[in-house]
Amino acid sequence: MRIRIGSRGSALARWQAEHVQARLTELGHDVSITIITTTGDRVLDRRLDNVGGKGAFLKEIEEAMLAQEVDLAVHSLKDVPTALPVGLHLCAFLERADPRDAFISRDGRRLAEMPAGARLGTTSLRRQAQLQAARPDLVIADLRGNVDTRLQRLREGAFDAILLAMAGLTRLGRAAEATEVLPPEVMLPAPGQGAITLECREADTALQRAAAVLNHAATERCVIAERSFLAGLGGGCNVPLGAYAQEDADSLHLRGLVARENGSIVLAGERRVTDADALGRELAGDLLEKGAGELLTR
């Protein structure tokens, strides 16, 4: 089967696309990659919520799929909104890598060792809120760009430390650059963080069957719970929000939080049930009862 993958041009996006290309090629498919520049890649001088949110990294690739120019998209799942364009479908979830956040400092200090007034770089409201809740004495500043760009700005002295997804560092062979890997109790990950997903046209059933071979069932259950939590709170809302699900012996355990951007309010909760979609929505309901709705409207 001939499969055309659409991918962003960053080193991490290319790694992910080439990983999927290699796996599908091993299964006997003829796979090519087309690099597509997205709005999120072009516009680096504004916050993501001002250029379409995380969906800004998908828009042009999804348009190319709908126009039949490419057949398959490979995404970091944390960048994929819960509402997809009509006619598109998430057709597989690859086995998840480390979902945690990496703390990287210029001088090797860990988060707890950073001096008051240290400058930390991130544009993630989720990371910012949790950092400010734990260390309100730190200064948080915007930092956009790909992994290489962010690490370069750290080395140049623009920041004392930055935060990146551990999965991305590992895939690029740069895991050793992490000063500290933050546990979920300190920094709850974004929904879907560490997982790669494949997106295709709903009508392309042959491609869906081909992609299904790559699906990892345990990862799928966990990320469905996390994305159900996100959907229950409004989907693409630009608020600090985290969710992380793990499989227990006979159920799924989901932790979630919604916070105020400055970390002054953090609403958190957890639940255990067997149905992934119900789990996320029930936990979202719990936090809405605690007052998450006010944070969402802000």
DSSP codes joined into one string, 18-35: HHHHHHHHHTT-EEEEEE
One-letter identity of residue 167: A
Count of CB atoms situated within 10 Å of the CB of 222: 28
Q: How far apart are CA 191 and CA 273, in angstroms?
A: 18
Average pLDDT, the chain: 92
One-letter identity of residue 221: R
Q: How far apart are CA 238 and CA 242, in angstroms?
A: 12
Angle between helices 217-232 and 276-287 (to 10 degrees): 30
User: Which CATH number does 2-94+195-215 carry?
Assistant: 3.40.190.10
Q: Using CA atoms of 80, 82, 83, 84 in order, give the dihedral in degrees to the nearest 10.
A: 40
Name the CATH superfamily, with its identifier, for domain 101-182: Periplasmic binding protein-like II (3.40.190.10)
Angle between helices 11-26 and 147-155 (to 10 degrees): 140
Q: How confident is the model at residue 49 (pLDDT cuts 50, 70, 90)?
A: low
Supply the pLDDT for residue 106: 96
Do the two domains 101-182 and 227-297 of this chain adopt the same fold? no
Task: Say if residue 47's pLDDT is above 80.
Answer: no
Task: Say if residue 58's pLDDT is above 60.
Answer: yes
Supply the pLDDT for residue 7: 96
Average confidence (pLDDT) over 222-244:
89
Q: How confident is the model at residue 236 (pLDDT cuts 50, 70, 90)?
A: low
To the nearest whole percent, how much of the chain has pLDDT over 90? 85
Q: How confident is the model at residue 51 (pLDDT cuts 50, 70, 90)?
A: very low
SS (H, E, C) 36-59: CCCHHHHCCCCCHHHCCHHHHHCH
- Domain limits of the chain? 2-94+195-215, 101-182, 227-297
| Phi, psi (rounded to 5 degrees) for 244 | -150, 125
Average confidence (pLDDT) over 146-161:
95
Supply the pLDDT for residue 149: 92
Name the CATH superfamily, with its identifier, for domain 227-297: Porphobilinogen deaminase, C-terminal domain (3.30.160.40)
Average confidence (pLDDT) over 13-32:
98
Which position has the higher pLDDT, 21 or 52?
A: 21
Supply the pLDDT for residue 43: 56
Residue 4 CA: distances (Å) to CA of 18, 33, 269: 12, 6, 42
Task: Say if residue 46's pLDDT is above 60.
Answer: no
Supply the pLDDT for residue 41: 65
> Tokens 């630009």 identify what position?
238
Q: How far apart are CA 192 and CA 167, in angstroms?
A: 11
Q: Any catalytic annotation for residue 79?
A: yes
Tokens encoding 134: 């734990």
Active site residue: 30, 49, 79, 160, which one?
79
Q: How confident is the model at residue 184 (pLDDT cuts 50, 70, 90)?
A: very high
